[in-house]
Structure 1
């Protein structure tokens, strides 16, 4: 798919599905680096950058945030890669890599990700930002596939309220309107498949109901150079959030 078609599809739907964005050997390298990172560095990370499905239980690791701060391998992925160039195509401007995150839904206990819009957390004007989600293993309905509401990025910001899901503190309380469900699209994924969405696109993910399978993925966030962040409001929000979890 050429750049023009990619951009048109993204602008129309609010998301992209790009199968095989990374090759299997590239995914294997990322998984290897993640495994080594978790073994050697997780105990040294600040608590706000590590989240567990069951608080304090290392076997239920759910999320690692800002990996680019702690390992040059992940910094290169965020700042100088095909992900970066794709973000520039979609936003039509230079971009700033904000964070690279690791996500997992442990077997049986991996909770659903509530429906939300990332822009609610970002606090940007203009809302020039994209989020990327790349599968590190096979993902389907059983272990927590991702879904998007097609065209929802064109309708502005919905009201959000607090949730009880660690790492996803805000959700859309009135989600489930006919316009939501009629336009919702679910995406099974293979390792290396990439999903990309606009900061205003409503999305969610199913719980992991599998008895054995995890659901591991990378998340990357890019802001357009024109996006202005309300730094004080964002810092106050993050501080309050970390104190409550």
Structure 2
């Protein structure tokens, strides 16, 4: 197996152009109060059509990194770009519009609106953005294997099916990037495998870009690359990750965490 491991020093930077990148972080830090640093300077460029897993011990900064990258939290310093658009200067309304139209989200909980049908949940980003649905909800549902379930209500679905609807909703706008935060954390093994297969297909078949925070080595092994954080610093990365190797890295990092 052709695997590549790379250790990263605290000052390591990946400074490349943004034309072919879905996401660029340049010196992004997040400090919640003096002395409470959640992220040290992060330099990262994610090419389009890439599946990236972000891992590390609890409290290492994974969720903070995702929130800053997705425009849900403003970094203390540094620059975040989605495609060529720089996020920090945008006002609240512009950020909301960008997240709705150019970013897809899949969380551990599916967050479907219980009073809306499956099709209405999927089309919600289009409707809120003032766009015509034009059958895109059906195409998105078909892509996740639920093309005949549009009229179903969320409470009639299994947890795995609800997460597949959430993936369809995340992809319906053909976003620049999809952020997935522990998307399999609440699922059993079979449903988790279905969700990971759909995310992998979204990258390989449709050219989407996925950044996934996960604690699960088997989930991370479906990605093209795994990044490892410790104490808010990007400390290691692995190309073509395998579950056994990921477990060894996590064990090593956990042993360094006080």
| TM-score computed with the length of structure 2 as normaliser | 0.27
| TM-score computed with the length of structure 1 as normaliser | 0.28
Higher relative contact order (CA 8 A, sep 6+): 1
Report which of the two structures shows the higher radius of gyration computed on alpha carbons: 2
